[in-house]
Structure 1
Amino acid sequence: MSALKDIYSPEFYDNLSDVLLITVPSFDKQKFVEKIFDEPFKTMELKERMRHTTRVLHEFMPADFGQAVKIIEKTIAEVRKKGGSEGGLAYIFLPDYIEMYGLEDYKNSVKALEFTTQFITCEYGIRPFIIHYFEPMMAQMLLWSKHQNHHVRRLATEGCRPRLPWAMALPELKKNPEKILPILENLKNDSSEYVRRSVANNLNDIAKDHPNIVLEIASKWKNNTKETDAIIKHGCRTLLKQGHPEILSHYGLDSEKITVSEFKIDTPEVKVPDALQFSFKVENKYEIPKIIRLEYGIYYNKANGLLSKKVFKISERMYQPKQKDLVIKKQSFKLITTKKFYSGLHKVSVIVNGEEKVIDEFQLIT
């Protein structure tokens, strides 16, 4: 299986160069390709290759950013004409170009972001503009929330997520998300699930710093439409995992008469990359049907010897009165590049409707 960075392949640059021959005046394909495939290229990771592509392209573009924007527009049109992939990740260097070389030209950059995001998302490239031009940029995003194109509407919410993964932080919006809320209000019943999903993710970001704001929105939007109910459910996922009392109450998730029994860790010693296996029985002892949200927590041993809990969802469904089910779960400890495991004591717990019912220990051997 090839690495993600390999989207920047000789074939990609060959096709891109053919497009740039059409859109960039006096473009030198051979020189461009030589500069791309310099000695450090082989060791570059995905983001480094993206930024490298941006910088090399800049050497062939007009110094005037307004003229460069026109070339970006022509390039996108030409890629589309040649059947290029809409939203193809390799083209993320286009919003990166706007971010790197357009920050001092607000007017042309806004135009470029609006156009480019309809081809490849500008959710990362827009963030420096939010920081440098906070008031006008947030006003622009509010306007975009009513744009006819769903990619632009999504940019209005995804671009201002306070905690967008792998993105530049937006401290102003983490501190006070007030400017985001009218955007979410405009998009809560959007016709595109792609957009509504972004609304939910934005709410989930806000909930990590301002749970009461999201709880208020949850109460306000409850039962408005099935779309808003779905947004709230996904947008409150962190609060649900945290067992926040108000959101549990919002969904009627109490656990007083829901029991967990016969909890057993089948693999008290787990050797990486094997899996932890455990089982338990859950029973609804109420006289009425109850929704049971089942989760489990893994307390990972960290480098400092402390335990850090991560919650995983098992299921959420209706249990009939006196219904009792056996649940068997596995948790992989397969090595991945984004996570490091440490030997020693770990714990696993079973969580029912936000309440940790049972917990026990196991040993991880790396």
Structure 2
Amino acid sequence: MTDDAAPALLKNMLGPEALKTIADAGTAASSRFDRSAFLAAASDGLDALSIMERVRHIADALHAALPGAYPEALTMIRAMAPRLTHGFQAMAVTEYVARYGLADFDRSMDALADLTRFGSAEFAIRPFLAADTQRALAIMTRWAGSDDEHVRRLASEGGRPRLPWAARVPALKADPTLAAPILEILKADSSLYVRKSVANHLNDIAKDRPDWLLDRLALWPQDDPHTIWIVRHALRTLIKKGEPRALALIGVGHGAAVTVRSFTIDPPTVRLGDRISMSAELVSDAPDDQRLVVDYRIHYARAGGKTAPKVFKLKTFELAADDAIALSISQTIKDFSTRRHHPGRHSVELIVNGRTMAEGAFELLPADAGA
């Protein structure tokens, strides 16, 4: 699949067949749903739109097909949701609430808690957070005690300071810790679906308020496996940076009593699309077992002789006293929408418990270089 194919496939999740499904759901929900008006409005200009633009476009088309009185329209929207067949279809339905329900705040928030079971309402809740942050967070705090894991996840995910693809909420940008009471309620949640959201929410906070995060997590109990899971995943950004307090919270001392016997990168010269392999052998110098977090950092060459470092996870494990371990990983050097490669020397560091223990490099040749 090409780099351009994935976005195209994603857009097609809200293509003509999806519009028919939404129209069928509206017709089944109420005889007052104007199917022809919806399909005409939703189809107009659809091809040129990205996936999230389609979500908003379909929400506006629903507005053209639903009754003018919002409470009645909302009842129809809630009846439509169980008949939808894909999460993106449901997102378009929740977007209707976001675009047309702000004036009926409590009724709309209640609807989002219901609709999130069919397709996450995490994006639709952002305008409510922006309009009245404290009011929205108070409702979401109640959601954190719900019996439904989808609702509990929405309480965390909707309030993430850096939620991908979502509009930023000014109050959360100014203080990314505002949803802390929600995270406290969910810190030992039984659902992995919820725990992933809590960890991602905390990792968002780590990028802006690392000291606050470390202080807060240091107070969390370390005897619950669910809490331990959240803490480890929440600290991933700080662990990659070798933050001593973050490493300590997952039971890893800063630095390690090991010798790197070898660290190799093969081949030393590559072209775009080639795969490189990295291997290392670590030997324990400690009389006791030790927990090791091993990462590697590639300094990507940039124009003008600059570099852009990025840390990758390699392995977290227990190394027995006086033992040795061989590690290896491979990676294809290819362009992504978020990272473009430039010819030149790419240095690579092997990082053990936050400290650089070995270094190597590979050379990326220009695309037009001879074989």
> What TM-score, normalized to structure 2?
0.90
Tell me which amino acid in the other structure corresponds to 2:88. L
Picking from 41, 46, 62, the partner of 1:35 is 41
Moved more, 97-106 or 303-312: 303-312
Q: Which residue of 2 aligns with 1:356?
A: 356
* CA separation of 1:129 and 1:30: change in aligned 2, threshold 3 A: closer
In the alignment, is the contact (CA less than 8 A) between 1:129 and 1:137 conserved in 2?
Answer: yes
User: Among the aligned pairs, what percent are the same residue?
Assistant: 34
Task: For 1:1-366, list aligned pairs within 5 A.
Answer: 3-38=9-44, 40-77=45-82, 79=83, 84-85=84-85, 88-250=87-249, 251-302=251-302, 305-365=305-365, 366=367
Give the distance between the partners of 2:37 and 2:256, measured in 1 at CA.
Answer: 71
Aligned equivalents of 2:53 and 2:106: distance in 1? 28
CA contact (8 A) 2:121 2:154 kept: yes
User: Which shifted more, 187-196 or 131-140?
Assistant: 187-196
**Contact 1:92-1:120 at 8 Å conserved across structures:** yes
RMSD: 2.1
* Distance (Å, rounded) in 2 between the aligned partners of 1:58 and 1:267: 58
Output one character per residue of 1:231-269: Cα deviation in whole Å (capped at 9) or x when no partner. 111111111111001122232334342122322221222
DSSP-derived class of the 2:356 partner: strand
Alignment partners' CA distance in 2, 1:362 and 1:137: 51
Q: Conserved in 2, the CA contact under 8 Å of 1:162 and 1:171?
A: no
Letter in 2 for 1:47: M
Segments of 5+ residues of structure 2 without an aligned counterpart are none
Q: Is the 8 A contact 2:37 2:65 kept in 1?
A: no
* Aligned-partner Cα distance in 1 for 2:111–2:303: 45
After TM superposition, give the deviation of residue 169 of structure 1 in Å.
Answer: 1.6
Name the SS for the 1:142 alignment partner.
helix
**Amino acid in the other structure paired with 2:300:** Y
Q: Given that residues 253 and 293 in structure 1 are in contact (C-alpha distance below 8 angstroms), is that contact kept between their aligned partners in structure 2?
A: no
Deviations 1:97-118 (A, max 9, x none): 1111122331222122122112
C-alpha distance in structure 1 between counterparts of 2:243 and 2:254, whole Å:
11
- Contact in 2 for aligned 1:258/1:283 (Cα 8 Å): yes
| Structure-2 change in CA distance of 1:28 and 1:61 (3 Å) | closer
Cα deviation for residue 215 of structure 1 reads 1.4
Q: CA deviation at 1:303?
A: 5.2
Q: How far, CA to CA, are the matches of 1:174 and 1:34 in structure 2?
A: 39
Gaps of 5+ in 1: none
Quick check: 1:174–1:209 contact (8 Å CA) kept in 2?
A: no
* Matches of 1:276 and 1:171, distance apart in 2: 43
- Equivalent position amino acid for 1:320 in 2: A
CA 1:218–1:335: 2 relative to 1, 3 Å = same
Given that 2:81 and 2:90 are in contact with CA atoms closer than 8 Å, whether structure 1 keeps it comes out as: no
Distance 1:68 1:27, change over 3 A: closer
* Mean CA deviation greater in 186-195 or 356-365: 356-365
Q: From the superposition, tell whether residues 222 and 107 of structure 1 become closer, same or farther in structure 2 (CA, over 3 Å).
A: closer
1:197-216 CA-partner distances (Å, limit 9, x unpaired): 21111111111111122212
Whole-angstrom CA distance in 2 between matches of 1:361 and 1:336: 21
Letter in 2 for 1:245: P
Measure how far apart 1:28 and its partner are.
Answer: 4.2
* Aligned amino acid, residue 151 of structure 1: H
Which amino acid in structure 2 is aligned with residue 200 of structure 1? A
- Answer yes or no: is the 8 Å Cα contact 2:292–2:316 preserved in 1: yes
Q: Note the C-alpha offset of 1:24.
A: 4.3
SS of residue in 2 equivalent to 1:14 = helix
Give how far 1:60 is off: 0.9
**Is the partner of 1:221 in helix, strand or coil?**
coil
Which sits farther off after the overlay, 295-304 or 120-129? 295-304
Letter in 1 for 2:26: L
Distance 1:27 1:219, change over 3 A: closer
Q: Which moved more, 1:338-347 or 1:187-196?
A: 338-347
CA distance in 1 between partners of 2:67 and 2:179 (Å)? 35
| Structure 2 CA distance for aligned equivalents of residues 171 and 306 of structure 1 | 33
Misfit runs of 4+, over 4 Å? none
Does structure 2 conserve the Cα–Cα contact (< 8 Å) formed by 1:284 and 1:324?
yes
Shift in Å, 1:36 = 2.8
Structure-2 separation of matches of 1:248 and 1:261: 24
In structure 2, distance between residues paired with 1:277 and 1:199: 34
Between stretches 192-201 and 155-164, larger displacement belongs to: 192-201
Residue type of the partner of 1:213?
W
CA contact 1:223–1:229 (8 Å) conserved in 2: yes
1:118-146 deviations in Å (ceiling 9; x for gaps):
22111111112111101111111111111
Deviations 1:9-40 (A, max 9, x none): 332222222221122444443443343333x3
